[in-house]
Amino acid sequence: MDYINRGNRSTKDGFGIGLLKLGEKHKNLIALGADITASVVVNYFAEKFPKRFFSFGIAEQNCIGVAAGLALSGKIPVFSTYGVFAALRTTDQIRISLCYNNVHAIIGGAHAGISVGPDGATHQALEDIAIMRVLPYMTVLSPCDATQTEQAIIAAVEQINGPVYLRFGRAPVPDFIDPEIEYIPGKAQTLKEGNDITLIATGHMVWEALQSSKILEEKGISARVINIHTIKPIDKDIIIKAAKETKAIVTLEEHQVQGGFGSAVAEVIVENYPVPLKMIGMHDRFGESGQPEELMMKYGLKAELFTKDILHFINLTSVRS
């Protein structure tokens, strides 16, 4: 089937709208702000529910501990800031105060990937998946568009019990997921069937994977496309099935490939059903300033660029029957 872009939207917008909707229903939902409230779209919630929004200033480490204390008191805290701060500045607080205590607290990791754009390397989260997915009890969500990000924050509050890291971006990107399709944490989605290879993508790269599959189709290659919106716990079954039914796997992420999403998929493949695997993403380097589209082009994260790499990979591995 073909996926239609209903219009570009920022995934952070889906987060903000989801949070606002949750506020009506869940009176114990508390949002914490670290100065960039509007930028991470917690302002909708804060304006509607001022008594359940608390400003904690530019002090992310404290916010994580406060979230743990709130959660231990029966509240559902949501703390959102840029992923670089949310996941990396606070890693020890997340490890001990949140994860070791196994509390239901939600961290929103905004500004994921190089598509953050002009702010440059300091503000482009490219290591957060790797750090968050290694922590015991942590669930890592990485939805692919604004519609799915709204579903993801709702699922994080209503369907998950422990700590959750929810990753989303800044740049407007195609909004294409059918809102009628249920979002089940831990259950990946096959967006397109295919027999030759499988493109397994997360976040913004899911749309690019769909575009790539069209180019491959023109070259006579049937590519399956899987959207992994839950990086931890990862849907092993869908990955193993793809490894068995197609001849090679390509992973796509807007993140460092080392330790990140590609590594998470590789762990499943290597242990269960080894097939050739190629990882597309950032390769051990920082991003830089530029417009989102320019950066995605420069770093080879647009379909028209990485599809060439995929074709080269296909020739190397004799996938074509």
The structure tokens 């931890």 sit at: 232
Query: In the bound complex, what is the minimum distance in angstroms from residue 34's beta carbon to other proteins?
Result: 10
> Which chain residues interact with other proteins by CB under 8 A?
30, 51-52, 54, 56-57, 59, 61-75, 77, 92-93, 95-97, 100-102
Quick one: 51 or 218, whose CB is closer to other proteins?
51
Nearer to other proteins, 65 or 259 (CB): 65
- Residue 252 C-beta: closest distance to other proteins, Å: 35
Question: How many other C-beta atoms can be found within 10 angstroms of the C-beta atom of residue 203?
Answer: 32
Q: How far is the CB of 27 from other proteins (least distance, A)?
A: 10
CB of 130 to other proteins, least distance (A): 20
> Of 147, 153, 148, whose CA–CA distance to 166 is shortest?
153
Q: Which residue has the tokens 């890291």?
A: 165
Q: In what order do the strands lie in the sheet with 248-256?
A: 189-192, 223-227, 197-201, 248-256, 277-282
Rounded least distance, CB 25 to other proteins, Å = 17
Up-side HSE of residue 103: CA atoms within 13 Å toward CB?
Answer: 25
Closest CB to other proteins among 6 and 52? 52
Q: In terms of CB distance, is 78 or 152 closer to other proteins?
A: 78
Least Cα distance to 228 among 168, 125, 142 occurs for 142
Q: Minimum distance between the CB of residue 69 and other proteins, rounded to whole angstroms? A: 2
| Dihedral angle sign, alpha carbons of residues 235, 238, 244, 248 | negative
In the complex with other proteins, which residue's Cβ is closer, 75 or 167?
75
Two tokens at 260? 């990140």
C-beta of 78 vs 268, nearer to other proteins: 78
| Beta bridge partners of residue 165, listed in sequence order | 107, 140
Selection from 226, 229, 281, 230 nearest residue 252 by Cα: 281
